[in-house]
Amino acid sequence: MNFRHKYMFLLPGLLVLLGILIFPIGFTVRLSLSSWDSFYPGLDFIGIENYIRLFTDDLRFWEAFGRLSMLSLTTVFLQYVIGFSLALMVWKDIVFQRFFRVLFLIPMMTTPVIMTVIWRTFFHESLGPVNDFFNLFGMNPLWLSSEILAKFTVILVEVWQWTPFMFLLLLAGLLSLPKEPYLAASIDGAGPIRTFVYVTFPLMAPISIGAIIIRLIEASKIMDTVYVLTSGGPGTSTETSSFYIFIKGLREFQFGYSAALSLTYLIIMIISFTIIAKILVKLMVRGN
Amino acid sequence: MAEIELKNIAHSYNPQAADMNYALDPFNMTWVDGGRYAILGPSGCGKTTMLNIMSGIVQPSEGKLLFDGVDVTTLSTSERNIAQVFQFPVIYGTMTVKQNLAFPLVCRNYEKSVIDAKVQEVAEALSLQGLLKKSASRLTADQKQLISLGRGLVRDDVAAVLMDEPLTVIDPDLKFRLRRQLKEINQKYRSTLIYVTHDQNEAMTFAENIIVMDAGKIVQVGSPAELFDRPKTTFVGYFIGAPAMNFFDCQASGGYMLSIGSAEIMTGTDLSKVGSAPLKLGIRSEYIRIVEAKGANTFTAHVQRVEDMGNYKLVTAVFEGHVTKVKVERDIAVPVDRVELQLPAENCCVYAADILVS
């Protein structure tokens, strides 16, 4: 075969890759070096001014980033713990095992935006059924307009919505585990706790790391829940990076600046996930 | 260690079915304390089922299992005090080698000084002293398998160490070393070792006694020499030895004589009671001799091929439709066309309905 023919076969895939991945990234890089906004549209060149502004004069972005880190780490941690517990529960032969397996998956089958609207109605401070209940005890918690409780509500909705995904991955992992390590642990005299700590947890580590990383990537994109539930409020107390970039780009139409925000966010995320994955491998696989 | 007795043990994976199929047919057997046994048979013959019944992983459909006279049939795996080494090494990857070896004792709340002494002793026996502080997950497959074995040996109360094809994942050169180590351990600790394999070489080189199984039945129990020289069934003759035993269709022709086609062969078996039933004469390729002239117990065969197997030659010759394999030393010249083969009477085994006539 002629050497050039190889490239002919590669070309269709390469063109698709170029069109959907490389061009948008390249264009975003170029856009971030411009001052394109609603007043002065066009790809002018202003060097790294947008980046200087981001690093010297935009505390709100970094606060949003800190909030995002807290929200995503907390929600994914809770999803992992609850998802793993539920998966362990229906992994063993229990009564109504199939029923519970389906039941735990229901939140994942619903449309996130619609469910968030329903949750917003539940937590409505004067009309919602949650406060109807709390009113019986003379309490009226501000689920959506208190800085702390609004964060709690966002976490609650995210955990409810996405724990089933974690549950599904971990249950699939548990069902694929070999029997021999459990027989060996039983022969060695290990009880249920030792068996979990020394057999189940280490065997599940690769699957756990995969599930955690997938969910962290998804959680870091959190947008619809915040948008529908609190719109980033009260004030900016539930505003996350993606929501802030959305405001800058699609509400204030600062395309150039939001491109710089997006790229910075992307690079930080790549570095963060690389470090997190390494830490998880060290903690969970090697047991250090 | 303990004497293990299986009384009328049988197992079916579907005991409620109308036509119950036994994975393991009813049998009785006693495993002597400190013995070294191999259970040998083709895949699906029931050898792992037998091992799992002893370890408690499988509850037998029928019969009783006694450890030193105590009925343990309904006891769980952990209550039986057995150790088991699986086909693939099972180690606790987050622990060091020392922690792995100590684990069964830690689970049983032994004192630290006792644990340390026992771990040290077993590590020395298994040549693992230099690796005690190393993470178990970073060892080679054979070292991991030794740790699996070591976890069984640290306990004083182990009735038997059961091994289910433990050398499958081990390199051939290391297999030899490990088998030798297993033998040494058996001699040192007088531990009852029961070893399941489908590899006859492993069974023959490891065990004092071999249990040959086929289709859920125990077909012969004996030493490697007994299985090789006097297979009780034609199956054992085929299964043990490489190449398999030669079999010739034949008929008794009076006294100790039988006829294979036109050849009259004297055997070491009294055939006066078998009548005219069709028989088979079995003889190992190692025992057939190539002779220069026709004589007693000989026949003339056509040489089909001669293969150089390295340390011996394998001659394939045909006599009246019977393909015969003969092992000869490398330096013996084999005629290219016709060859006189002699079957020594003392090495001839006669089978009626595939069972050895004794």
Asked if residue A215 belongs to a domain, the reply is yes
Stretch(es) of chain B classified as CATH 3.40.50.300: 4-235
Per-residue pLDDT at B126: 83
Asked if residue A9 belongs to a domain, the reply is no
Read off the pLDDT of residues A48-83 as tens digits, 9 standing for 90 and up: 999 999 999 999 999 999 999 999 999 999 999 999
Question: Could A199 and B92 be called an inter-chain contact, meaning their C-beta atoms sit closer than 8 Å?
Answer: yes
Read off the pLDDT of residues A81-117 as tens digits, 9 standing for 90 and up: 999 999 999 998 888 888 988 899 999 899 999 999 9
* CATH class of segment(s) B244-356: mainly beta
Stretch(es) of chain B classified as CATH 2.40.50.140: 244-356
Please, are residues B153 and B182 in contact by the beta-carbon 8 Å criterion?
Answer: no
Structure tokens at A94: 């229990």
Q: Which chain B residues are closer than 8 Å to A195 by Cβ?
A: none
Read off the pLDDT of residues B111-140 as tens digits, 9 standing for 90 and up: 999 999 999 998 988 888 899 999 998 888
CA distance B156 to chain A (A): 13
Question: Is B301's pLDDT higher than 70?
Answer: yes
- Collapse the DSSP code of B39 into the 3-class scheme (helix H, G, I; strand E, B; otherwise coil) and give the result: strand
Mean pLDDT of A264-279: 94
Query: Is the pTM above the cut of 0.80?
Result: no
- DSSP letter (8 states) at residue A37: -
Mean pLDDT of B267-286: 90
Asked if residue A39 belongs to a domain, the reply is no
Question: Is B269's pLDDT higher than 80?
Answer: yes
Per-residue pLDDT at A286: 62
Per-residue pLDDT at B17: 72
pLDDT band of residue A287 (cuts 50, 70, 90) is low
Q: Does A202 touch chain B (CB under 8 A)?
A: yes
Per-residue pLDDT at B196: 92
What backbone torsions phi and psi does residue A48 show, to the nearest 5 degrees?
A: -100, 25
Please, are residues A39 and A252 in contact by the beta-carbon 8 Å criterion?
Answer: no
Distinct helix (H) and strand (E) counts, chain A = 15, 0
Read off the pLDDT of residues B30-63 as tens digits, 9 standing for 90 and up: 988 888 999 999 988 989 899 989 988 888 999 9
CB atoms within 10 A of CB A127: 9
Question: Is A121's pLDDT higher than 80?
Answer: yes
Mean pLDDT of B242-257: 92
Q: Is the peptide bond before B243 cis (omega within 30 degrees of 0)?
A: yes
Taking CA atoms, B303 is separated from B282, B288, B316, B320, B340, in Å, by 20, 14, 6, 12, 10
CA distance B23 to chain A (A): 21
Q: Which of A156-165, A275-284, B244-253 has the lowest mean pLDDT?
A: A275-284
- Collapse the DSSP code of B210 into the 3-class scheme (helix H, G, I; strand E, B; otherwise coil) and give the result: strand
What integer best gives the mean pLDDT of chain B? 89
Residue in A183, A190, A286 nearest the CB of B57 = A183
Neighbouring residues of B284: CB distance < 8 A, sequence distance ≥ 6? B228, B229, B241, B245, B246, B347
Architecture label for domain B4-235: 3-Layer(aba) Sandwich (3.40)
- In this predicted model, which residue has the larger pLDDT, A72 or B76? A72
Number of domains in chain A: 1
pLDDT band of residue B178 (cuts 50, 70, 90) is confident
Asked if residue A221 belongs to a domain, the reply is yes
CA distance A181 to chain B (A): 6
pLDDT band of residue A1 (cuts 50, 70, 90) is low
CA distance B92 to chain A (A): 6
pLDDT band of residue B1 (cuts 50, 70, 90) is low
Per-residue pLDDT at B276: 80
Question: Is B225's pLDDT higher than 90?
Answer: yes
Please, are residues B74 and B85 in contact by the beta-carbon 8 Å criterion?
Answer: no
Q: Does A48 touch chain B (CB under 8 A)?
A: no
Structure tokens at B198: 């489908």
Domain of A256? 58-285
Question: Could B77 and A183 be called an inter-chain contact, meaning their C-beta atoms sit closer than 8 Å?
Answer: yes
Q: Is the peptide bond before B344 cis (omega within 30 degrees of 0)?
A: no
- DSSP letter (8 states) at residue B119: H
Mean pLDDT of A198-209: 93
Asked if residue A52 belongs to a domain, the reply is no
- DSSP letter (8 states) at residue B86: -
Per-residue pLDDT at A132: 92
Read off the pLDDT of residues A219-271 as tens digits, 9 standing for 90 and up: 998 988 999 999 998 989 999 999 999 999 999 999 999 999 999 999 999 99
Read off the pLDDT of residues B311-351 as tens digits, 9 standing for 90 and up: 899 999 999 999 999 999 988 888 888 999 999 999 999 99
pLDDT band of residue B300 (cuts 50, 70, 90) is very high
Per-residue pLDDT at A4: 75
Structure tokens at B319: 């006599």
CATH classification of the domain holding A117: 1.10.3720.10
Please, are residues B36 and B91 in contact by the beta-carbon 8 Å criterion?
Answer: no
Per-residue pLDDT at A93: 80
List all residues of chain A from 181 to 200 with a beta carbon under 8 Å from chain B.
Answer: 181, 183-184, 186-191, 194, 198-199
Structure tokens at B164: 């289910």
Asked if residue A45 belongs to a domain, the reply is no
